[in-house]
Structure 1
Amino acid sequence: MQQIPLETRHKEIINVDGLEFKDLNNNGKLDPYEDWRLTAEERAQDLVQQMNLDEKVGMMLINSLLSGKGHPEWASEDGVLTGEIEDAPIFKHIPDTKKLITDYHMRHFIARDLLPISDQVEWVNALQAQAEASRLGIPVIIASNSRNEVNGDTYIDGDPAADSWSLYPGTLGISAAQKGDLAKGADYELIENFADNSRQEWWHAGLRKGYMYMIDTVTDPRWQRIQQTFGEDPLFISEITGRLIDGFQGQSLNEWGIALTMKHFPGGGARENGFDPHYKEGKWNIYRTANSLEDYHLPAFKVAAQHNVSSMMPYYSAPSIEKSHYQSYEGDVIPFEEVGFAFNEYLLNDILRDKMGFTGYINSDTGIVDNMDWGVESLSKPGKFAKAINAGTNIIAGNTDVASLKAAVEKGYVPIQRIDQSNQVLLEEMFKLGIFDSHTYVDEQAARDFVNNNADRQEAAYQAHLKSVTLLKDQQVLPVKNQKVYIEAFHKEADKADKYTDKARKAGQALDFDLSYDYSQADVAVLFLRPVSGDYFTSTPGLLELEICENKENIALNGDSYRETTITNLDRYFAIADKVHQNGGKVITVINITLPWILGNVEAVSDVLIAGYDTWEKAILEVVKGDFTAQGKLPLTLPKNAKVIGVDEDFKCISRNDVPGYAKDNYLREGMSYAYQDSQDNVYELNFGL
């Protein structure tokens, strides 16, 4: 038996049979949970028996955590951890970090700061040192949402973390790039390299649990979270799901892997006209179409189960009985219970575990006890904890209320066997990852060396940006060479438009474009549109706006009138296009696809129309210049107009919200079609791209 490397900062290392082990409970002898020669299952069984109830309930909560490195205003004395935070944006109150570990006995945390890897490592090691000093020396495990994609305006000003993390286009862009490769006869190497490169960066940063990826199938075009999905193609999503799991976790979870939490079971795409369950207007999942749940929404989750994903996250929403056609799975009718999916015993146990064969643990979404408690609002806090745990959920997110969870056990709402089962599976993950042994602490020098050797990973990410660029229309304009080019960007927020304009012009300079700063003197105008509509934390007054518009009058659900803007200074965009055309020039419009925008008014004035997906401006301009040939393919269908997503007097959408865009024509009125068709007869449907 070969000795594994061990490091401690508070506890002793003992020698048994010529080998070294951590004496995590300070009893001077080797306990089974300290013995790295045993299986994860054996070690977890021993540790669960040694834990008291306070330690067990602390293990079953996971909460957001900020770092002193990222928030010096809240930093503790060491400058690395944080003290008590009373009013953090979004996260509100967060107790003192040391108290969470020592007094609350919590061991699962969600890293919310986007730090350079070197700062991330220092923070993780400080957390681990605090945890090691506890009675049983149980380490922490740090989770995070995905970090290797450009997401919205995160990098509008640049960010020091951009030098550490390889940054791919948004997940829709990764799909567009991968679909482009497949169309050219290539395989899934892009997604496999993405997973492996990202895994290495996470591992060196000490982030060992990923709250990712969103494998929801997009079916409702107004759902605000479409930007973070892989699109509307359930078979394609299933293919990449397995490869993501294998790339991050390995064929089986091991010390070099990152444990993934796939979400949001059983699929968040079947919205009621776009409204999201972060607020009550969006609490329902609606299944109007026979078999839509099994055919479109569940396939990727079955693949995730087959590839032994470490955990799954149910969505906040609840299935509506009244508004849905009955659904079945593998021939058995699903008895819908109108409670959020983390409370939904049949879906979690009968379908996910029994039929799909899922053997991991269930991690609730953030806030199911205090805020998004759909269907169980009348229950007490201990009652909500009990409902979720008895239904099959193993860890509750967005919560530090150890007292209410403990009360649920002491009142008899939750049998202790359920608590022990959850602790068992949660601890097994940590043992498999090596967090108790060789990988408690992160080697800071190795992390720095790794960051400094990132050229290959950065290049792979940039190639994905290039490949994501999707050419929707080209009236024999590309490539643009030896012409004066005017560049400007537009956004919902004017100050952000200015910043994006500056970024795009700098990219144009780097590519040696002959830039004009007066559009009336330009041969070609390249106009970047970055529309924004709503956000998924708050409900819009009416239906989410998908048209490219400014100050458009809409009608709210209560009948009131209100105005909506997705692009500010839209009149200027049209004025530039008009002037350039008057002078015999050409207009290239670049639309950032975060939602399936309705593009009729934009396409009409564009000689070239390009889709990006939080794609770097430089990559798009390389395509414009002809240095790279566009190959991206649409990961979702763009609707023809507002009429095809209209809502009737019964609040039912004319095109079914539980089926993908490519299948919506099957349910539209005779003579109607869903996908946008441009002036060149190009149809902007799934997999299209010139």
Structure 2
Amino acid sequence: MEQPQLEVRSKQLVEVDGLQFKDLNGNGELDAYEDWRLPPQERAADLVGQMTIEEKVGFMLINSRFTGYQTEDHEPKSHDGVLDERIIEAGTNIFATRKVFGTTETIERMHLRHFILRENEAPSRVAAWANAMNEVAEGTRLGIPVLITSNSRNENGEMVFGMNDAIGIFSTFPATLGIAASVLGDQADGGDASIVDGFAAAVRHEWVATGLRKGYMYMADVVTDPRWQRTYGTFGESPELVSDIITRIVDGLQGEELGPDSLSTTIKHFPGGGPRENGFDPHYAEGKWNCYPTPGSLETYHLPPFEAVAAKAASFMPYYSAPSVQRSVYQTFREEEVYYEEVGYAFNDYFLRHVLRDRLGFTGYVNSDSGITDNMCWGVEHLDRPSRFAKAIMAGTDMIADSNNIEDLQAAIDQGKVSMSRVDEACQRLAVEMFALGIFDGQTYVDAPAADEKVKASPGWALADEVHHKSVVVLKNSGGTLPLAVGSSAYVEVFHKSGEQAELKTKQAREEITAAGALQVVDDADAADVVLLLLDPQSGDYFNATPGLLELTLCEDKPLRSIAGEPYTETTVSDLRRFRDLAGAARERGAKVVLSVNVSLPWILDDVEPLADAVVAGFSTFYDAQVDVLTGRTPAHGKLPITLPASEAVIAVDEDGICASPNDVPGYAKDAHMPEGMTYAYVDADGNTWALGHGLRYG
């Protein structure tokens, strides 16, 4: 092994056999955990052997951490304003019930070493923040460094807590569904999913340059319940496609094995979040259950993507939900009966130990989703917090996410509910990752001033532009409406649930399309050759249940009934009357109506498709890329990664909570389980079936 370039800021270097090592515990000797020549497993064992119980407790928690950049000037900071030293009272978000202490105290007294970044800052500022935290950590007793994690930062989309954190700062691809649409288009042309290799390489290059070394990404979940709000973050409904993509991502981010230039992956959400109970998400109690009403669905559709990377991924994240006995039928996996313990998967010994480790061969660590010992503790709500910690850890969860609750984890150990052998096992698994990534050695600090240029020079920018263009799916093209003639006059308007967002996005769309130069954007719809209407529907809330079922139709003030039978109204797109008037007036005078729908969910479009001459699907795809496809400057390429439902009838839920189409079967396979005479996929006026893999080409 070559001598790594070592940097220390408070400790000293020691020289042995003509080589340099960090004296992280300050004893003037070379300990095994300080010896970069040794394998990570041996170093981790030595480190864990030197850690106190308090240090081990902090090491098993990961918490969201603010930078000092977005705090007010009068609020406490350190390291030239880089570190946030505020004390924040409990109850500020759904994940945390504990007071948040300043960065230095959290590292020095509470011994946390794993942190989640959710802010949107320039690469150089992220890198300076990472360096400052590691400088604090280096000064502690054992000098254990900090590992910073983030949710994905390289896809376009509306801001959700902890998601889409860095649009335009890192290379910005379409949403993951758009990446899948691009891959399906390549496969239709005889290619493969190799575009994902370039995507992963770019993400890795950009993140490592900033000091971000682990990603909560990506979702290996297969979409089966169309009302699941997290569909937008998946790669669609094909288990084969998702398996291929997720394998390439793990290989591309981590490399052949974890090393100093790797980006570690946490694949989520084991064993698959797709089989929802009528779409409700387990961020809230109404969505606590995973349902398997179809024989063979778990093994056929949901486990394959996790199986594909079980031997490679550094860590897995279990889903919040619990398997439902009432809503599930007999399932097998590898010819063994599946056991349903009705507790969340982070507490589920059968799935974590028997399925994930014993059957799939997983050797990494299990990182819980955020808040499992507080608000999202499904199946163990009756337990006190120390007992919830104990249940999760003894079931096989190694790290508890979005928590700084050292007191209750310590109590679980003191009360004998968590064995020290299990604590040591978890800490060793976590430490192995850090040693493999070189964070103890030459990768503790990064070149912060250079980070902006390194990200700017990433090949991801050019590739992202290509993928945006490839992601556009032409769903309908009546009478050869597309491609539009270059130079045609076009009226452009975006429709959104929020009137304010609609106005902002309309301005953005007109500016991007004008700059692209393919269409002449005009202000008067009656004077336009083409009326381009961009629908960006929104439904539900990431963290709160809707009163009734999640709405997938395009509607405004639609009267509905809640689960309890109370009346309420729902809007997914505002100003729909204006939308219809614009489309109707354009067609009456012979102008073409082109409809673009942002497919963040499998929208039901039976009410709007007949109003348009051409319909395309985007996936948070840039407007200028869409117009290049509409005008033929870029060939139509993308293919649908999910099936769009035919009508409300095919996803109707009866009084017993049973859906007309099974919650655990992907759209392309639902017809085998539908009521007689009913088909699942939408068929447009031209006879096109909007199912997985559909996408028209020109000519």
TM-score class, shorter-chain normalisation, is over 0.9
**Residue number in structure 2 paired with 1:359:** 363
Cross-structure match for 1:247: 252
The one of 540, 551, 560 aligned to 1:554? 560
Q: 2: distance between equivalents of 1:339 and 1:229?
A: 24
**Structure 2 residue matching 1:236: 3-state secondary structure:** helix
Conserved in 2, the CA contact under 8 Å of 1:116 and 1:163?
no
The answer as to 2:451 corresponding to 1:450 is no
Shift of residue 88 of structure 1? 4.5
**Greater shift after overlay, 81-90 or 221-230?**
81-90
Q: Is residue 490 of structure 1 aligned with residue 495 of structure 2?
A: yes
Match of 1:210? Answer: 215
Q: Aligned AA for 1:516?
A: V
Aligned to 1:225, the other structure's residue is in SS state helix
**What is the DSSP-based 3-state SS (H/G/I as helix, E as strand, rest coil) of the residue aligned with 1:425?**
helix
1:593-612 to 2 correspondences below 5 Å: 593-612=599-618
* Structure 1 residue aligned with 2:116: 110
Give me the whole-angstrom Cα distance separating, in 1, the residues matched to 2:613 and 2:93. 43
Instruction: Give 1:64's aligned residue.
Output: 64
* Structure 2 residue corresponding to 1:229, chosen from 229, 234, 239: 234
Equivalent residue for 2:322? 318
Paired residue for 2:292, among 263, 287, 293? 287
CA distance in 2 between counterparts of 1:453 and 1:107 reads 30
In structure 2, the residue matched to 1:642 is 648
Within the alignment, does 1:507 sit opposite 2:512 as a pair?
A: yes
Q: Deviations over 1:554-605 (max 9, x none)?
A: 1111111110000011111101001111111010010000000000111010
Question: Aligned pair in 2 of structure 1 residues 75, 565: CA closer, same or farther (>3 Å)?
Answer: farther
Q: CA deviation at 1:154?
A: 7.5
Q: Tell me the equivalent position of 1:629.
A: 635
1:96 equivalent to 2:98? Answer no
- Tell me how far apart the structure 2 counterparts of residues 118 and 142 of structure 1 sit (CA, whole Å): 15
Structure 2 CA distance for partners of 1:231 and 1:71, relative to 1, 3 Å: farther
Using the alignment, how far apart are the partners of 2:592 and 2:159 within structure 1? 28
Contact 2:642 2:692 in 1 (8 A): yes
Of 76-85 and 550-559, the range deviating more from structure 2: 76-85
The aligned runs of 1:290-439 (5 Å cut-off) are: 290-306=295-311, 308-439=312-443
Give the CA deviation at 1:509. Answer: 1.1
Which amino acid in structure 2 is aligned with residue 556 of structure 1?
Answer: S
Aligned equivalent of 2:17: 17
* Alpha-carbon contact 2:154-2:170 (below 8 Å) kept: yes
Aligned residue number for residue 522 of structure 2: 516
Matched residue, 1:29: 29
Tell whether 2:83 aligns with 1:81: yes
Which secondary structure state, in structure 2, belongs to the residue aligned with residue 362 of structure 1? strand
Amino acid at match of 1:39: P
CA distance in 2, matches of 1:458, 1:446: 18
SS in 2 for 1:174: helix
Question: 509-518 or 210-219: which moved more?
Answer: 509-518
Instruction: Read off the aligned partner of 2:132 and give its amino acid letter.
Output: A
2:202 corresponding residue in structure 1 = 197
Q: Could you tell me whether the CA contact under 8 Å between 1:6 and 1:21 is conserved in 2?
A: yes
CA distance in 2, matches of 1:202, 1:49: 32
For residues 120 and 302 of structure 1, the distance between their equivalents in structure 2, rounded to whole angstroms, comes to: 34
Specify the code of the residue in structure 2 equivalent to 1:137.
G
Distance apart, 1:670 and its partner CA: 1.0
Q: Which position in structure 2 is the counterpart of 1:266? A: 271
**TM-score in terms of structure 1 length:** 0.97
Contact 1:69 1:123 in 2 (8 A): no
1:685 corresponds to which residue? Answer: 691
Q: Select the residue among 455, 461, 465 that pairs with 1:462.
A: 465
What residue in structure 1 maps to residue 225 of structure 2? 220
Distance 1:80 1:451 in 2: 20
8 Å CA contact 1:294, 1:329 repeated in 2? yes
Q: Secondary structure at the match of 2:140?
A: coil
Distance, in Å, in 1 between the alignment partners of 2:396 and 2:669 is 34
Q: 1:97-118 CA deviation, whole Å, 9 max, x = no partner?
A: 1111011100011111121111
Preserved contact between residue 531 and residue 593 of structure 2 (Cα < 8 Å): yes
Secondary structure in 1 aligned to 2:368?
strand
Partner residue of 1:50?
50
Q: 2:306 and 2:428 mapped to 1: Cα distance?
A: 23
CA 1:53–1:223 in 2, change beyond 3 Å: closer, same or farther?
same
2:593 partner amino acid: V
> Post-superposition shift, 1:89?
5.4
Q: Deviations over 1:456-481 (max 9, x none)?
A: 32111010000000000012111222
State the alpha-carbon separation in 1 of the partners of residues 258 and 330 from structure 2.
37
Deviates more, 1:383-392 or 1:81-90: 81-90
Determine the C-alpha separation between the residues in 2 that align with 1:50 and 1:295. 45
The share of aligned pairs that are identical, in percent, is 50
**Alignment correspondent of 2:140:** 134
What is the total number of aligned residue pairs between the two structures?
Answer: 685
- The structural deviation recorded for 1:65 is 1.0
Determine which of 161, 186, 192 is the counterpart of 1:187: 192
Q: Match for residue 567 of structure 1?
A: 573
Structure 1 residue 71 displacement after superposition: 3.6
After superposition, give the CA deviation of every residue in 1:422-442 in whole Å (9 maximum; x if it has no partner).
010100000000000000001
Q: In the TM superposition, what is the alpha-carbon distance from 1:72 to its structure 2 partner?
A: 4.1
Closer, same or farther in 2 for the Cα pair 1:651/1:163, shift >3 Å?
closer
Structure 1 residues not aligned, in runs of 5+: none
Distance 1:635 1:133 in 2: 50
Change (3 A) 1:2 1:638: closer
Change (3 A) 1:540 1:287: same
The one-letter code sitting in structure 2 at the alignment partner of 1:585 is: A
